[in-house]
Amino acid sequence: MPNQNDVSLTVRNLNVVYTSRKKIIHAVNGVSFIMKKGQTLGLVGETGAGKTTIAKSILRILPDPPAKVLGGEIMLEGKDLMKVPEKEMLKIRGEKIAMIFQDPMTALNPLMTIGDQIMEGLRLHNDYSEAEAAQTAKELLEMVGIHAERFKEYPFEFSGGMKQRVVIAMALACEPELLLADEPTTALDVTIQAQVLDLINKLRAKYHTSMILITHNLGVVAQTCDHVAVIYAGKIIEYGSKRDVFLNYAHPYTLGLFASLPSFSKDAPRLKPIQGSMPDPTRLPPGCTFHPRCPHVIEDCTKSEIPLIEVSPGHFCRCCNMRQEG
């Protein structure tokens, strides 16, 4: 167990469902992890794996209904965020935990100037006068590489990459302890993505912010994170340091993800995709949820819940076939 003082966030047994009149969608099914201060955790997985739902439950911004958090603990600085009153949560959002959303085009209010949007959070969480807030907002803009003169412009006057910089400036305005970055560069071109990732890394180092980076891009994880959790059908199926997961992956799904990527250096005539597609989240298969697509499936896989097993210190994997080999 790491020293309590080093821990920035603990998530224990988080379960979230989405309900509709007829169906229950099991989005997050018992996710637990611990983040140390200053750590960067990459949450990797395909569409519908539950990555964004995890981030939104930490901030408690899931729309209820249809979303329902069935249980779990989210501990930040000794407080369970699941239990704090909404009024206190307002203080935590933006000040302690901030989020960068995937789509910079919709994350900003089109009717407010960029400056006003950055000032909004600053004035809410600090005792700033209008002039002080404006001054800080201008400094933030300069920090993310936007001229302070553009303070009074509206979002439509900025390009996609610039808007994402503004969103980053807003997220870092109150120097949060934890940054939730939900696919921060997916909507951007590669050259702009490189600039934005570089910016996030520099600022994170400056403020010692911990970060959960949600992405489906393994390259982005390789270049920014120190720990990785691979999510499949709402469960962590592999967790470890970047080295563990990228070089010594243990789960057949993780292997499948890497094998699906076309390579830059090697010539493979055919890719080796994972067979089939994601399971229907309203009817998850019993046992290991990956078993219908797994090439190494054995009888045990379909029987009961597979626990996360520590394959080497700090490296966990949820696979029963591997347990037998080990």
Partner 1 sequence: MPPLMEVRDLSKYFKVPAGVLHAVDRVSFTIEKGKTLGVVGESGCGKSTLGRTMIRLQEVTDGLILLNGEDITHVSGRKLREVREKVQIVFQDPYSSLNPRLLIEETIQEPLRNSCDYSRSQLKERASALMDLVGIDMRLRQSYPHELDGGRRQRVGIARALALNPEFIVCDEPVSSLDVSIQAQVLNLLMDLQDQMGVAYLFVTHDLSVVRHISNAICVMYLGETVEMCPSKELFSTSMHPYTKALLSAIPSIDIDEPMRPIPLKGELTSPINPKPGCRFFPRCPYAKGGCRQPLRLEEVSEKHFVACHRVREIN
- Binding site residues, partner 1, CB under 8 A: 46-47, 159-162, 189-195, 197-198, 216-220, 222-224, 242-243, 246-247, 256-265, 267-268, 270-274, 277-278
The count of other CB atoms within 10 Å of the CB of residue 55 is 22
Is 36 or 216 the residue whose CB approaches partner 1 more closely? 216
Is 267 or 299 the residue whose CB approaches partner 1 more closely? 267
Is 112 or 278 the residue whose CB approaches partner 1 more closely? 278
Q: Smallest gap, in angstroms, from Cβ of residue 254 to partner 1? A: 11
The bridge status of strand 210-215 relative to strand 40-44 is parallel
Cβ partners under 8 Å of residue 315, min gap 6: 239, 240, 241, 244, 245, 248, 250
- In which region does residue 24 sit, left (phi positive, over 0), alpha (psi from -120 to 50) or beta (all else)? beta
Tokens of 75: 């501990």
Q: Smallest gap, in angstroms, from Cβ of residue 275 to partner 1? A: 8
Q: Smallest gap, in angstroms, from Cβ of residue 315 to partner 1? A: 14
User: What H or E segment, with its residue span, contains residue 252?
Assistant: helix 252-260
Q: Smallest gap, in angstroms, from Cβ of residue 153 to partner 1? A: 15
Is 177 or 238 the residue whose CB approaches partner 1 more closely? 238
Q: Smallest gap, in angstroms, from Cβ of residue 248 to partner 1? A: 12
The bridge status of strand 210-215 relative to strand 178-182 is parallel
Q: Smallest gap, in angstroms, from Cβ of residue 127 to partner 1? A: 37
Is 72 or 161 the residue whose CB approaches partner 1 more closely? 161
Is 71 or 219 the residue whose CB approaches partner 1 more closely? 219
Is 43 or 162 the residue whose CB approaches partner 1 more closely? 162
Confirm if 160 and 104 have CB atoms less than 8 A apart: yes
Q: For residue 315, which amino acid is it? A: H
Is 90 or 194 the residue whose CB approaches partner 1 more closely? 194
Query: Is residue 179 packed enough to be buried (19+ CB in 10 Å), middle (13-18) or exposed (0-12)?
Result: buried
Cβ partners under 8 Å of residue 143, min gap 6: 169, 203
Q: How far apart are CA 279 and CA 276, in angstroms?
A: 9
Query: Is residue 271 packed enough to be buried (19+ CB in 10 Å), middle (13-18) or exposed (0-12)?
Result: exposed
Q: Smallest gap, in angstroms, from Cβ of residue 149 to partner 1? A: 16
Q: Smallest gap, in angstroms, from Cβ of residue 270 to partner 1? A: 6
Is 42 or 121 the residue whose CB approaches partner 1 more closely? 42
Q: How far apart are CA 27 and CA 291, in angstroms?
A: 18
The count of other CB atoms within 10 Å of the CB of residue 321 is 19
Confirm if 224 and 38 have CB atoms less than 8 A apart: no
* Three-state DSSP state, 265: coil
Tokens of 68: 């329902």
The count of other CB atoms within 10 Å of the CB of residue 182 is 21
Q: Smallest gap, in angstroms, from Cβ of residue 236 to partner 1? A: 18
